[in-house]
């Protein structure tokens, strides 16, 4: 019987004890990057000239010279074999959002009847996986199955278990990107070129600008026994039904609370593994919702940071199982409590410092600061619809707009100090130079507590794109997303804004205006122009939605329609201008996005119908029969008027059950019918729109009735673990 399963499962969950974790004897700084073929290992395992060339490739973007491939591969193989490695794989990020790998052994015939371990340069540099089953949006039809993976030397290879993992890009036979890494790397290059050129107005020696990313990964942990008794969690990553538990997050007692021991051991375990793989984990804490947590490493160069995030997500999922948990990366696993995001802290830096670092030293420094703030705003304003498209997905849509996350309307919070500074520049005379006050201290007047240095920014948790002192924090990114999607859009847009800025400044200089005045003049224009994107108020309020509409910001809420932004003329022009993606690639990617959207809702609808008809309705009917039986028996032993009085309550429940039940059955049938009709639509875009408009609403309307039944039906009979169990047993 179903109920037995539920109680057994809860019982099993309660019995779990923390799993011991072996903590290395050395310090973290000693075992950091133990399994990474980093510079130290390259120095040891590669010939000196090869090492030098590799450094040039990594540091200066020099072209990888194929003649050194064999030597590099050989060094890697020797290092890896000392760690007991027997296999290697190209590791890539196809458009499925996860990562992909196919392992091959080092072994080859030795031509003497035996085997020998071999790893040649050509295997390191390029592979041809049978790629026909990865999404390609029609770029490559299935009979042309060829796609190439090519080594990305700027992201170091690493070892997991017995396998040497080689980060690679994934491209089609005709050269189009089939992954996230190719356009990401192109966008890094675009922003480097554009920002370096602008930087040289201020610091003529700057040769390179690097994009940085510090991600903060939110996640839920659920006991594995409970998880496995929820087919919806198993199949879709979220609960499609379930009534609020009496207590959820209203007490605010989970955020930054003390971490349960079982969870702490899990965290320790993933952190050790991450550090060994060179991921600089630093912060861990409880999040707002029960059983919700966060992990954040120190920021890194963006390409590496994204590889590390992809790797981290797979480590988290794998290690969770060892501890008897499942790690939920879905953006909204539970209705009524906070969802999970992945804040993307973004900044640009040169080898001398961060370009968004608060001003102070010289007027030119201040001007540099204002330039990069304003041109970032311009990028975000010009492409606010695209940035929404870059973070939206069937799953993240559940989180955005709900009361705990930034809505899917992009705006930027600057805080008072920076806003005042921009206002000041806007009013400036072009011949003035820009001096601003630096940090101020806050005298707390508490004995023995040092004065606090106040950051020049206040905080606004409701803004999707907030300036936080020396970086922008893009908060709308989904917890399970590949951050490359958001970051490559942002980088490309910023590159475009900077190119455009420089063109205008140079034109003025050519007309004889001095450099500083020219910069101030253009900044004044752009400060005025970008005002609609600046918003420091409450981003969750309904007033803001109306105000954003008035300001002309993109307020679309339908995921399939938001995706249209990728094919907007201004978007295509921008991506082509900065040489990141072509119209053809954008169109192909959109096909994949729409198809993925449809499939996600389709799976949800299927499993939901199944749960309703095979789990909920039978149990509810059984309970109703018990009540009916009871009413009959009361009638047998009591006179009619007394029996009627005593059974009034049961009769009412019997009736309520019938009402909910008939709504559910009728609408599940309608849902199935609608799906059948919609599946016949040929166009991926139209199909996705139909799934959004016609199929998805059933999930919400039917759920309401299931959740009502959960409150009526005997707890003993209810077949699914409830929210109070999923969210509070750990």
Please state, in angstroms and rounded to a whole number, the distance separating the CA atoms of residues 528 and 537.
19
Which partner, Mg ion, ligand ADP, none, binds residue 493 by CB below 5 to 8 Å per kind? none
From CA 338, how far away is CA 290, in angstroms rounded?
A: 9
Query: Which of the choices ligand ADP, Mg ion, none does residue 471 contact, using the CB cut-off of 5 to 8 A by kind?
Result: ligand ADP
Contact range with Mg ion by CB under 5 A, out of 115-123, 343-351, 515-523, 528-536: 343-351
Q: Which is nearer to ligand ADP, 46 or 380 (CB)?
A: 380
Burial label for 495, CB within 10 Å (0-12, 13-18, 19+), is buried
Nearest approach in angstroms of CB 32 to ligand ADP is: 16
Shortest reach from residue 347's CB to ligand ADP, in Å: 3
Smallest gap from Cβ 263 to ligand ADP, in A, equals 17
Instruction: Give kind and range of the element (H or E) at residue 692.
Output: none
Q: How far apart are CA 330 and CA 341, in angstroms?
A: 9
The residue (of 343 and 471) whose beta carbon lies closer to Mg ion is 343
For ligand ADP, give the closer residue by CB, 345 or 463. 345
**Binding partner selected for residue 180 from Mg ion, ligand ADP, none, CB under the kind-specific 5 to 8 Å limit:** none
Using an 8 Å Cβ cutoff, are 74 and 116 in contact? Answer: no
Q: Which partner in Mg ion, ligand ADP, none is near 75 (CB below 5 to 8 A by kind)?
A: none
698 binds, among Mg ion, ligand ADP, none (CB under 5 to 8 A by kind): none
Q: Is 203 helix (H, G, I), strand (E, B) or coil?
A: coil
Q: Which residue has the tokens 């954008």?
A: 586
When the beta carbons of 249 and 344 are compared against ligand ADP, the nearer one is 344
CA distances from 557 to 103, 392, 398, 402 (A): 41, 10, 11, 12
CA distance 216 to 90: 26
DSSP at 533: G
625 binds, among ligand ADP, Mg ion, none (CB under 5 to 8 A by kind): none
DSSP state, residue 57: H
| Residue 321 vs residues 326, 342, 442: alpha-carbon distances, Å | 6, 22, 47
How far apart are the C-alpha atoms of 341 and 596, rounded to whole Å?
20
Cβ closest to ligand ADP, residue 220 vs residue 608 = 220
Nearest to 167 by CA among 229, 227, 99: 99
CB of 415 to ligand ADP, least distance (A): 14
From ligand ADP, Mg ion, none, which one binds at residue 299 (CB under 5 to 8 Å depending on kind)? ligand ADP
Question: Minimum CB separation from Mg ion for residue 403, in Å?
Answer: 18
Residues that bind ligand ADP (CB under 6 A): 212, 214, 216, 283, 296-299, 343, 345, 347, 354, 470-471
Tokens of residue 221, six digits: 């942990």
Local structure of residue 479 (DSSP, 8 states): T
Closer residue to ligand ADP, CB minimum distance, 349 or 624: 349
212 binds, among Mg ion, ligand ADP, none (CB under 5 to 8 A by kind): ligand ADP
Smaller CB distance to Mg ion: residue 190 or 305?
305
Residue 296 or residue 605: which is nearer to ligand ADP going by CB? Answer: 296
Least spacing, CB of residue 554 vs ligand ADP, in Å: 25
What minimum distance in Å lies between the beta carbon of 730 and Mg ion? 24
CA 706 to chain centre: 31
Residue 242 contact, options Mg ion, ligand ADP, none, Cβ 5-8 Å cut-off depending on partner type: none
Compute the least distance from the CB of residue 470 to ligand ADP, in Å: 4
When asked if residue 471 is in the footprint of Mg ion (CB under 5 A), the reply is no
Nearest to 348 by CA among 197, 476, 236, 556: 197
Q: Could you tell me the smallest distance in angstroms from the CB atom of residue 300 to ligand ADP?
A: 8
Q: Which residue has the tokens 């005025």?
A: 528
Burial of 141 (0-12, 13-18, 19+ CB in 10 A): exposed
Q: C-beta of 696: minimal distance to ligand ADP in Å?
A: 32
Q: Which two tokens stand for residue 16?
A: 């779990």
Residue 130: CB minimum distance to ligand ADP, A: 37
Q: Are 272 and 227 in contact (CB under 8 A)?
A: no
- CB nearer to ligand ADP: pick between 471 and 685: 471
Q: Which does 147 bind (CB under 5 to 8 A by kind): Mg ion, ligand ADP, none?
A: none
CB closer to ligand ADP, 107 vs 298? 298
Contact predicate 362/370, CB 8 Å: no
Pick one of ligand ADP, Mg ion, none as the site partner of residue 214 (Cβ within 5 to 8 A by kind).
ligand ADP
Q: Which residues contact 274 (CB under 8 A, 6 or more apart)?
A: 281, 297, 308, 311, 312, 315
- Residue 343 touching Mg ion (CB under 5 A): yes
354 binds, among Mg ion, ligand ADP, none (CB under 5 to 8 A by kind): ligand ADP
Measured from the CB of residue 282, what is the shortest distance to ligand ADP in angstroms? 7
- Which residue in the block uniquely carries the two structure tokens 């042309």? 144
Smallest gap, in angstroms, from Cβ of residue 581 to ligand ADP? 24
What stretches of 100-212 show up as alpha helix (H) in DSSP? 121-125, 181-199
In eight-state DSSP terms, residue 341 is B
Which residue's beta carbon is nearest to the bound ligand ADP? 214
Segment 194 to 233, residues that bind Mg ion, using CB under 5 A: 216
Instruction: Decide if 99 contacts 314 (C-beta within 8 A).
Output: yes
Q: Which is nearer to Mg ion, 346 or 381 (CB)?
A: 346
C-beta closer to ligand ADP: residue 187 or 500:
187
Smallest gap from residue 210 Cβ to ligand ADP (A): 10
Q: Which residue is associated with the tokens 């749960």?
A: 611
Least Å from the CB of residue 283 to Mg ion: 10
- E strand or H helix at 305, and its extent? helix 302-322
- Distance between CA atoms of 83 and 160, rounded to whole angstroms? 10
Q: CB-wise, 300 or 382, nearer to ligand ADP? A: 300
Which CB sits closer to Mg ion, 323 or 343? 343
* Interface stretch with Mg ion, choices 26-34, 338-346, 422-430, 574-582 (CB under 5 A): 338-346
Structure tokens at 460: 């606004």
The three-state secondary structure class of 87 is strand
Residue among 372, 338, 68, 452 at smallest CA distance from 212: 372
How many binding residues for Mg ion (CB under 5 A)? 2
Shortest gap between Cβ of 352 and ligand ADP (angstroms)? 14
Residue 216 or 300 with smaller CB distance to Mg ion:
216
Of the two residues 135 and 297, which places its CB atom closer to ligand ADP in the complex? 297
* CA separation for the pair 461, 368 (Å, rounded): 27
Q: Residue 688 burial by CB count (10 A; 0-12/13-18/19+): exposed, middle or buried?
A: buried
* Residue 265: contacted member of Mg ion, ligand ADP, none (CB under 5 to 8 Å, by partner type): none
CA distance 482 to 329: 12
Binding site residues, Mg ion, CB under 5 A: 216, 343
């Amino acid at each position: 019987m179903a109920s037995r399963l539920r109680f057994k499962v809860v019982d099993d969950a309660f019995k779990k004890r923390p799993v011991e974790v072996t903590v290395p004897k050395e310090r973290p700084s000693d075992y950091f990057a133990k399994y990474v073929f980093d510079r130290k290992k390259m120095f040891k395992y590669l010939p000196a000239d090869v090492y030098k060339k590799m450094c040039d490739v990594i540091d200066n973007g020099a072209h990888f010279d194929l003649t050194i491939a064999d030597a590099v591969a050989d060094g890697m193989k020797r290092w890896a074999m000392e760690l007991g490695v027997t296999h290697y794989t190209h590791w890539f990020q196809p458009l499925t959002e996860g990562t992909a790998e196919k392992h091959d052994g080092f072994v080859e015939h030795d031509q003497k009847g035996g085997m020998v371990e071999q790893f040649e340069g050509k295997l390191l540099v390029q592979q041809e996986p049978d790629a026909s089953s990865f999404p390609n949006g029609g770029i490559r039809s299935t009979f042309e199955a060829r796609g190439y993976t090519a080594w990305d030397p700027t992201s170091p290879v690493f070892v997991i278990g017995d396998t040497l993992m080689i980060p690679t890009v994934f491209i089609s036979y005709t050269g189009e990107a089939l992954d996230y890494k190719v356009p990401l790397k192109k966008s890094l290059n675009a922003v480097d070129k554009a920002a370096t050129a602008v930087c040289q107005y201020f610091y003529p020696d700057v040769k390179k600008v690097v994009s940085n990313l510090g991600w903060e990964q939110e996640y839920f942990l659920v006991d594995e026994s409970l998880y496995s008794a929820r087919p919806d969690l198993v199949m879709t990553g979220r609960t499609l039904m379930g009534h609020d538990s009496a207590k959820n997050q209203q007490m605010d007692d989970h955020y930054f609370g003390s971490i349960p021991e079982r969870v702490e051991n899990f965290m320790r375990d993933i952190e050790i593994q991450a550090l060994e793989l060179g991921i600089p984990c630093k912060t861990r804490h409880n999040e707002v919702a029960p059983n919700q947590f966060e992990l954040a490493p120190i920021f890194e160069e963006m390409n590496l940071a994204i590889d590390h995030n992809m790797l981290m997500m797979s480590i988290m999922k794998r290690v969770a199982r060892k501890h008897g948990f499942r790690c939920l990366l879905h953006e909204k696993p539970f209705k009524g409590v906070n969802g999970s995001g992945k804040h993307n802290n973004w900044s640009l830096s040169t080898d001398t410092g961060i370009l968004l670092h608060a001003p102070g030293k010289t007027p030119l420094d201040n001007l540099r600061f204002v330039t990069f703030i304003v041109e970032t705003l311009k990028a975000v304003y010009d492409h606010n619809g695209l940035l929404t498209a870059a973070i939206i997905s069937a799953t993240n849509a559940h989180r955005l707009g709900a009361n705990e996350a930034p809505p899917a309307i992009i705006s930027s919070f600057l805080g008072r100090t920076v806003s005042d500074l921009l206002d000041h520049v806007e009013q400036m005379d072009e011949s003035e130079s820009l001096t601003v006050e630096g940090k101020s201290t806050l005298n707390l007047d508490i004995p023995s507590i040092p004065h606090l240095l106040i950051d020049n920014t206040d905080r606004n948790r409701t803004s999707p794109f907030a300036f936080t002192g020396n970086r922008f924090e893009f908060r709308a990114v989904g917890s399970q997303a590949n951050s490359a999607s958001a970051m490559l859009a942002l980088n490309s847009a910023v590159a475009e804004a900077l190119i455009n800025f420089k063109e205008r400044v140079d034109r003025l200089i050519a007309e004889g205006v001095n450099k500083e005045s020219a910069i101030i003049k253009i900044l004044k224009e752009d400060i005025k122009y970008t005002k609609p994107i600046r918003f420091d108020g409450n981003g969750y309020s309904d007033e803001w939605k109306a105000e954003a509409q008035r300001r002309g910001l993109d307020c679309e809420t339908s995921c399939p329609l938001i995706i249209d932004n990728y094919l907007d003329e201004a978007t295509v022009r921008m991506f082509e201008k900065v040489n990141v993606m072509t119209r053809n690639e954008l169109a192909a990617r959109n096909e994949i996005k729409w198809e993925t959207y449809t499939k996600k809702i389709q799976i949800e609808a299927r499993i939901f119908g199944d749960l309703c008809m095979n789990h909920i309705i039978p149990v509810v009917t059984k309970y109703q029969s018990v009540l009916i039986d009871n009413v009959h028996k009361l009638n047998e032993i009591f006179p009619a008027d007394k029996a009627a009085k005593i059974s009034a309550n049961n009769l009412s429940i019997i009736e309520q059950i019938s009402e909910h039940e008939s709504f559910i059955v009728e609408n599940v049938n309608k849902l199935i019918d609608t799906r059948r009709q919609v599946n016949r639509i040929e166009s991926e875009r139209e199909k996705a729109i139909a799934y959004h408009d016609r199929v998805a609403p059933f999930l919400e309307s039917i759920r309401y009735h299931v959740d009502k039944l959960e409150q009526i039906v005997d707890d003993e009979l209810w077949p699914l673990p409830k929210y109070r169990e999923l969210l509070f047993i750990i």
